[in-house]
Amino acid sequence: MSLLISDDGWLNVARRCPSPNYNPRPQTPISLVVVHNISLPPQQFGGAYIEQLFTNCLNPNEHPYFAQIAHLQVSAHLLIRRSGEVVQFVSFLHRAWHAGASNYLGRENCNDFSVGIELEGADDIAYEDVQYQQLAMIVQTLQQHYPSIAQHITGHSDIAPQRKTDPGDAFDWSRFWQLIGQE
């Protein structure tokens, strides 16, 4: 199936799980993709906890770690699960709350002009082949739809180096660049 982005900013192959954690973008073109990772509880995969976090439904009593994060109002545009399933939380036309305090090439507040893509994973656990394949197809589709992205793809750790480490050492940037033809 071809990947398409609808006029209202939704990816046709993604399962929708709308998050309340977004707001309008300022009048600026989408010009960056930020790659993240997430696992809840940390380094555990599967289940509905990520979706619950991004929809403000995470029960702080289900795991000790959740008590630290259940109050957060965060989201991403997309999640690519280890199975390759793609879940979309926020339309690309809106500003998802994924980057926090951030700077890319001198531009502050990366949420204003970026698409945030979470990979279900952890900094030091290898990502699945299907995640690389899905990420590459999605990024190529985003580049076609939003030409300002061009080669502006980075990790969360690169835009918020004092506080973030994702997607981590386990993410093979060379492999990713090769898949999208930008070696």
pLDDT in tens, 139-168: 999 999 999 999 999 999 999 999 999 999
Across 130-137, average pLDDT: 98
pLDDT of the residue at 183: 75
Question: Which percentage of the chain shows pLDDT scores above 90?
Answer: 97
Digit-coded pLDDT (tens) for 5-49: 999 999 999 999 999 999 999 999 999 999 999 999 999 999 999
pLDDT of the residue at 182: 87
Digit-coded pLDDT (tens) for 74-100: 999 999 999 999 999 999 999 999 999
Active site residue: 62, 85, 108, 118, which one?
118
What count of residues does the chain have? 183
- Give how far Cα 82 sits from Cα of 44, 115, 155, Å: 11, 20, 18
Q: How confident is the model at residue 136 (pLDDT cuts 50, 70, 90)?
A: very high
Answer yes or no: pTM beyond 0.95.
Answer: yes
**Rg of the chain on CA atoms, in Å:** 15
The CATH T-level fold of domain 29-179 is Lysozyme-like (3.40.80)
53, 72 in Cβ contact below 8 A?
yes
Q: List, in order, residues 6 or more apart from 48 with CB less than 8 Å away.
A: none
User: Using alpha carbons only, what angle is made at residue 80 by residues 64 and 13, rounded to the nearest 5 degrees?
Assistant: 135
Q: Phi and psi at residue 86, in whole multiples of 5°?
A: -110, 130
Between 182 and 51, residue with greater pLDDT: 51
Instruction: Dig out the tokens for 159 from the structure.
Output: 């835009």
**Token pair 């939704």 is at which residue?**
10
- Taking the domains of the chain in order of start, what are their residue ranges? 29-179
118 is catalytic: yes
